[in-house]
Structure 1
Amino acid sequence: MQIFHVLAIAAPFAFAAPLEALDWCNGQRYDATQYACYDNKLLCPFFNGAPLSACGDGCYYPYVYNCTQDNQLNVLPEADGLFSLIAVNPAKLVSSKIEACGRAFYLKSDGPCTYCPSQVPQQGGKCPDGKETIIGGLGLVSVHCVLSSRTDRNLCQNTAVPGGQLIYVDPETGALGFTQAHSASKPQGALQDIREFKNGAFILASSWGWLACPSKQQGSAPALLQVVAKLPGLSYASECFDISVLTVEKTGGGFAAWQYT
């Protein structure tokens, strides 16, 4: 997993600020906007707007690992239930829910885009609230989605629509997306090598992390920030910036939406 390459290693030194603005750590000058100094002996670089944590004489990503009292790294447990997603970059003052809309995922505060057929309540059923984007962890997804094509690495939305809605990354653009209701069609070569950690990182193994990129503006509405994977060989707009995509464990039963649109 490529994102792991930056973990559990000592940080190299880099000076992005003028010399007079640098701080000292264990006899080394460093830029406090790019590195954190632990116990005046270990420098750890910033990653997605926040410093990596220290464990012994190395640095690690706390949304994938934890550090034991004897300075050993343990991988966090995988998400085995339902969860939502948030995007975080403290340096950009970003901490936002991620919602499904337009078969993509956006940093969005007003909920997802959903639909429930009028026949559902007319036939005595009840439309799910549809107020939040919820994803199914290992096994806790629509039975229709499980029976169609889900594996332990192919996540589904927590929807009631027959066939479910699979999550993938478009290999041509890096966009995190999901299948249309009643269809399992995905872009050719769609990437689904996703790992999700319990109240931790949401990672695409074949990527170098996630970006928040301005989407095309619709009318007078402000452009939303879209969640995009950093894929080898692709180029991205200069306005894009790094984010950590994190899972937030959810409790309770029932579907989150009939379908996301």
Structure 2
Amino acid sequence: MALKRAFAALALASGLLILPALAEEQEKCGQASYYPSEYTCYDDKTLCPIQFSLATKPCGGGCYSPEQYSCEDGTIKDLPEATSPFSLTFSGVRKTFRDLNVKACGRYLAVGANARECHACTAAGGTNCGSYQNSTVLLPGGQMASDVPGHQFWYIEPSSGILRYTEALAGNSSVWNATIPEKEFAAQNVKVYENGLFTWTREDATTHWWMACLVTLPGGAVGTARSWRIYAPTYVNMERGDCEIGRIVAKAVDRNAGAYKYP
């Protein structure tokens, strides 16, 4: 099914379309019948929908996403915006696209079995390379968790909507300013909740999902060495037929979980 039709379905009241798995048997929640792939039953009486493999929870007569809201005395409230360094995981509907770590390599962010996580370090100047855990870590202000001089930044490429990061550049480099104006990088149109969703805002709406689109890495034959790069769901990208849609969740981590440099 083309992504355009899939996103039209996502615009329904529940915000998504999940078809029951083949041969899946219904279960009972009180007097109601439900598919376990679509709903979670609480206290044998309340059904809450599963959204992109992520369970919602009951609160005050409704259901909420714990990746975006909290429930306090029966009232649903927004989670605070992220202040901590964070790693990212991608969860789609299919089992093979659940809780996948987002990895940085070659200035792209990707998921999947063949997605590479690249890091580099030099001991020159007394750098303790052993102090880094070399995981992909982002900072709320738009930087990558790297210590290379000039820093590195994550951003959404305006022309393609792809989630990328920069090479290390000098602090006020004219190369940086000419290549990616400051208004285009970092959290422009991106909102990150503390231990919650990593969201993107299009001109007409806030989207709580992203797209993982298939690529074949350079030098790999068709069908091999493939990974899934992360894209914002622009209207152009929604026409693609080689993508999975899902939610990205930010998890607070220690800054030292990052790397000295992401090549």
Task: Provide the residue aligned with 1:141 in structure 2.
Answer: none
1:111 touches 1:133 (CA, 8 Å); kept in 2? no
Task: Provide the residue aligned with 1:186 in structure 2.
Answer: 180
Total equivalences in the alignment: 232
Query: Could you tell me how far 1:24 is from its partner in structure 2?
Result: 6.5
Residues 243 and 256 of structure 1, relative CA distance in 2, 3 Å threshold: same
Greater shift in the superposed pair: 126-135 or 29-38:
29-38
Greater shift in the superposed pair: 185-194 or 229-238:
185-194
Separation (CA, whole Å) in 2 of partners of 1:244 and 1:160: 29
Give the 5 Å matches for 1:44-193: 44-68=48-72, 70-89=73-92, 91-93=94-96, 94-107=98-111, 112-116=117-121, 120-127=122-129, 129=132, 131-137=134-140, 154-182=141-169, 183-184=175-176, 185-186=179-180, 190=184, 192-193=188-189
Alpha-carbon RMSD: 3.7
Separation (CA, whole Å) in 1 of partners of 2:159 and 2:34: 38
Residues 162 and 22 of structure 1, relative CA distance in 2, 3 Å threshold: same
Task: Provide the residue aligned with 1:257 in structure 2.
Answer: 259
Query: Could you tell me how far 1:26 is from its partner in structure 2?
Result: 7.3
Separation (CA, whole Å) in 2 of partners of 1:159 and 1:235: 32
Give 2:210's aligned amino acid. Answer: W
Q: Deviations over 1:133-182 (max 9, x none)?
A: 12224xxxxxxxxxxxxxxxx41101122332221112332211112221
SS at match of 1:235: helix
List alignment gaps of at least 5 residues for structure 2: 1-9, 170-174
Give 1:241's aligned amino acid. Answer: E
Q: Deviations over 1:98-147 (max 9, x none)?
A: 1111211011567622334xxx534443446462112224xxxxxxxxxx
Give 2:180's aligned amino acid. Answer: K
Greater shift in the superposed pair: 99-108 or 86-95:
86-95
Separation (CA, whole Å) in 2 of partners of 1:57 and 1:86: 29
Separation (CA, whole Å) in 2 of partners of 1:136 and 1:99: 14
1:55 touches 1:71 (CA, 8 Å); kept in 2? yes
Counterpart pick for 1:205 among 166, 180, 201? 201
Separation (CA, whole Å) in 1 of partners of 2:137 and 2:261: 11
Instruction: With the length of structure 2 as denominator, give the TM-score of the two structures.
Output: 0.70
Task: Provide the residue aligned with 2:229 in structure 1.
Answer: 226
Task: Provide the residue aligned with 1:147 in structure 2.
Answer: none
Give 1:194's aligned amino acid. Answer: V
Query: Could you tell me how far 1:198 is from its partner in structure 2?
Result: 2.1
1:112 touches 1:130 (CA, 8 Å); kept in 2? no
Residues 71 and 123 of structure 1, relative CA distance in 2, 3 Å threshold: closer
Query: Could you tell me how far 1:196 is from its partner in structure 2?
Result: 1.8
Query: Could you tell me how far 1:224 is from its partner in structure 2?
Result: 0.8
Separation (CA, whole Å) in 2 of partners of 1:32 and 1:91: 14
1:193 touches 1:205 (CA, 8 Å); kept in 2? yes
Give 1:114's aligned amino acid. Answer: H
2:59 touches 2:71 (CA, 8 Å); kept in 1? yes
Task: Provide the residue aligned with 2:6 in structure 1.
Answer: none
Separation (CA, whole Å) in 2 of partners of 1:169 and 1:215: 18
SS at match of 1:215: strand
Residues 12 and 30 of structure 1, relative CA distance in 2, 3 Å threshold: farther
List alignment gaps of at least 5 residues for structure 1: 1-5, 138-153
2:145 touches 2:255 (CA, 8 Å); kept in 1? no
Separation (CA, whole Å) in 2 of partners of 1:113 and 1:155: 19
Greater shift in the superposed pair: 197-206 or 22-31:
22-31
- Percent identical among aligned pairs is 26
